[in-house]
């Protein structure tokens, strides 16, 4: 009977649709935007914004958090703030976006027979029924804007609603400014554009920690393991991928009946999310590389997230002895390790002593690598013999 307590205690808080109350590492951006909106709306003026940033840089989370905070912040210039969020990814035409917006101000129009400006008139009537500052969030706005949208222009100009205002937030992973028509560009001057830098490893670790605190049983994951996940996601600065690995690793740990999430579970999760090493790639590796990888996978199986190059070399020497192979010189060992690093199979980092290096590998679960590599090295040996 398995008596290990669950690790994922609030799994729904890792779901992409969950909006955390606090966005760590985006406090400055959020505060800046909150202030700009509050100042402008308090004067009865709309504020338009173009928000860009790479995949998983927190754009959607940031604008949803901003909208929710403004909605709950009370009246500005006499009117409440109301947000209308549209994901334009699959609704990349002015009309379909407009129909969504109409629904949000509780008016419905048949899908045909109305021009865009007529629809906009009806939309403004809808707002007048419930006077407010409307914050229109158009997420994934790339294809909409690239299709020479008129909606962006019309929404950014329809400021005289008599009661309240309409502010526009465009969100995209690429800079949309060059695609805007000259008239719309004037609404998106420099203070109306914000580009989010990709998260670095330290930021990703903090984000993972804050989300693990929500979703996982206290004490079920170490900061070291969170850092391991952050290192995997850091090349793209993608928080979504980092959270997917966290969720996958927590599931893997539960399935294994473990008490906490370990390095091995992270490797397993990453392997299933992004199988970067194919068997074809493994076939193309030299016997030297295979040997070092096998030694590394065995070392990591026992040691956790990373090991030192000295320990790896000692285990590698032992492995060669075990296989009855010739010992490898220090230079060849290093060259092989560097080749593996170049191929993206291992990560080398200078250790604190300056002399020793930390070696880690996140590409595949150690157990799978061991099986594959033992097969290969074993086969190579019997072929040679």
Ligand X SMILES: Nc1ncnc2c1ncn2[C@@H]1O[C@H](COP(=O)(O)OP(=O)(O)OP(=O)(O)O)[C@@H](O)[C@H]1O
Instruction: Verify binding: residue 26, ligand X, rule CB under 6 A.
Output: yes
Among 243, 346, 359, 372, contact with ligand X (rule: CB under 6 A): 243
**Residue 377 in contact with residue 325, Cβ under 8 Å?**
no
Task: Give the residue closest to ligand X by C-beta.
Answer: 58
Residues 205-224 that bind ligand X (CB under 6 A): 207, 210-211
Residues 137-196 that bind ligand X (CB under 6 A): 173
Give me the phi and psi of 17, to 5 degrees please. -80, -10
Residues 304-343 that bind ligand X (CB under 6 A): none
Give the residue with the Cβ less far from ligand X, 16 or 275. Answer: 16
Instruction: Verify binding: residue 60, Mg ion, rule CB under 5 A.
Output: yes
Shortest distance, position 138 Cβ to Mg ion, whole Å: 12
Binding window for Mg ion (CB under 5 A); candidates: 58-66, 118-126, 247-255, 352-360: 58-66
The half-sphere exposure of 48 on its side-chain side, counting CA atoms within 13 A, is 20
Indicate which of Mg ion, ligand X, none lies near residue 55 (CB less than 5 to 8 Å, by partner kind): ligand X
**Residue 95 in contact with residue 59, Cβ under 8 Å?**
no
Shortest distance, position 305 Cβ to ligand X, whole Å: 22
Q: For residue 209, give the nearest of 189, 182, 239, 188 by alpha carbon.
A: 239
Give the residue with the Cβ less far from ligand X, 26 or 192. Answer: 26
Distances from the Cα of 265 to the Cα of 219, 246, 283, 339, angstroms: 16, 9, 25, 26
Among 159, 185, 240, 311, contact with ligand X (rule: CB under 6 A): 240
Q: For residue 151, give the nearest of 126, 112, 123 by alpha carbon.
A: 123
Give the residue with the Cβ less far from ligand X, 25 or 311. Answer: 25
Instruction: Verify binding: residue 23, ligand X, rule CB under 6 A.
Output: yes
How many beta carbons lie within 10 A of that of residue 204, not counting itself?
Answer: 28
Binding window for Mg ion (CB under 5 A); candidates: 59-67, 214-222, 319-327, 353-361: 59-67
Shortest distance, position 196 Cβ to ligand X, whole Å: 7
Shortest distance, position 15 Cβ to ligand X, whole Å: 8
**Residue 36 in contact with residue 219, Cβ under 8 Å?**
no
DSSP H or E segment with residue 50: strand 49-53
From the CA atom positions of the chain, what is the Rg in Å?
A: 27
Binding window for Mg ion (CB under 5 A); candidates: 54-62, 77-85, 320-328, 371-379: 54-62
Instruction: Verify binding: residue 49, ligand X, rule CB under 6 A.
Output: no
How many beta carbons lie within 10 A of that of residue 55, not counting itself?
Answer: 13
Helices (H), the chain: 27-42, 59-72, 94-104, 116-129, 142-146, 151-157, 182-185, 201-215, 223-233, 239-255, 263-273, 279-284, 287-303, 309-323, 330-342, 366-384
Binding window for ligand X (CB under 6 A); candidates: 21-29, 156-164, 246-254, 336-344: 21-29
Shortest distance, position 355 Cβ to Mg ion, whole Å: 44
The single residue listed with the structure tokens 């194919």 is 278
Instruction: Verify binding: residue 68, ligand X, rule CB under 6 A.
Output: no
Instruction: Verify binding: residue 60, ligand X, rule CB under 6 A.
Output: yes
Indicate which of Mg ion, ligand X, none lies near residue 316 (CB less than 5 to 8 Å, by partner kind): none
Helix, strand or coil for residue 133? strand
Instruction: Verify binding: residue 61, ligand X, rule CB under 6 A.
Output: yes
How far apart are the C-alpha atoms of 4 and 2, rounded to whole Å? Answer: 6
How far apart are the C-alpha atoms of 207 and 212, rounded to whole Å? Answer: 8
Instruction: Verify binding: residue 53, ligand X, rule CB under 6 A.
Output: yes
How far apart are the C-alpha atoms of 333 and 346, rounded to whole Å? Answer: 14
Structure tokens, 252: 């893997």
Binding window for ligand X (CB under 6 A); candidates: 49-57, 90-98, 219-227, 308-316: 49-57
Give the residue with the Cβ less far from Mg ion, 9 or 24. Answer: 24
Indicate which of Mg ion, ligand X, none lies near residue 25 (CB less than 5 to 8 Å, by partner kind): ligand X
Sites of contact with ligand X (CB under 6 A):
16, 20, 23-26, 53, 55-61, 173, 207, 210-211, 239-240, 243
Sites of contact with Mg ion (CB under 5 A):
60
């Amino acid at each position: 009977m398995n008596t290990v307590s669950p690790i994922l205690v609030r799994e729904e808080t890792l779901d992409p649709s969950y909006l955390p109350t606090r966005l760590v590492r985006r406090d400055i951006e959020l505060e800046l935007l909150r202030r700009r909106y509050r100042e402008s709306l308090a004067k009865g003026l709309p504020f338009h914004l173009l928000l860009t940033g790479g995949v998983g840089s927190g754009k959607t989370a940031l604008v949803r958090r901003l909208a929710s905070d403004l909605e709950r912040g009370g009246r500005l210039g006499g009117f409440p703030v109301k947000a209308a969020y549209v994901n334009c990814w699959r609704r990349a035409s002015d009309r379909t976006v407009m129909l969504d917006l109409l629904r949000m101000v509780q008016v419905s129009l048949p899908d045909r027979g109305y021009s865009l400006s007529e629809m906009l008139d009806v939309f403004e009537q809808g707002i007048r029924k419930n006077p407010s500052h409307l914050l229109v969030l158009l997420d994934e706005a790339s294809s909409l804007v690239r299709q020479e949208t008129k909606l962006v222009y019309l929404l950014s100009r329809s400021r005289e609603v008599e009661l309240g205002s309409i502010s526009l937030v465009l969100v995209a992973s690429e800079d949309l400014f060059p695609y805007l028509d000259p008239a719309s560009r004037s609404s998106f001057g420099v203070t109306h554009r914000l580009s989010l830098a990709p998260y670095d490893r330290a930021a990703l670790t903090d984000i993972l920690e804050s989300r693990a605190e929500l979703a996982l049983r206290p004490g079920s994951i170490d900061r070291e393991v969170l850092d391991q996940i952050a290192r995997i996601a850091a090349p793209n600065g993608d928080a979504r991928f980092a959270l997917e690995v966290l969720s996958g690793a927590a599931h893997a740990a539960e399935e294994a009946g473990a008490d906490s999430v370990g390095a091995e579970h992270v490797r397993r999760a990453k392997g299933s999310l992004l199988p970067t090493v194919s068997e074809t790639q493994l076939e193309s590796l030299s016997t030297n590389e295979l040997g070092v990888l096998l030694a590394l996978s065995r070392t990591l199986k026992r040691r956790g997230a990373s090991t030192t190059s000295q320990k790896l070399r000692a285990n590698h020497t032992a492995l060669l002895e075990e296989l009855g192979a010739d010992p490898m010189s220090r230079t060849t060992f290093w060259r092989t390790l560097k080749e593996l690093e170049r191929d993206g199979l291992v990560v080398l980092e200078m250790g604190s002593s300056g002399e020793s290096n930390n070696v880690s590998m996140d590409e595949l679960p150690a157990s799978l690598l061991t099986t594959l590599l033992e097969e290969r090295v074993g086969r190579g040996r019997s072929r040679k013999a």
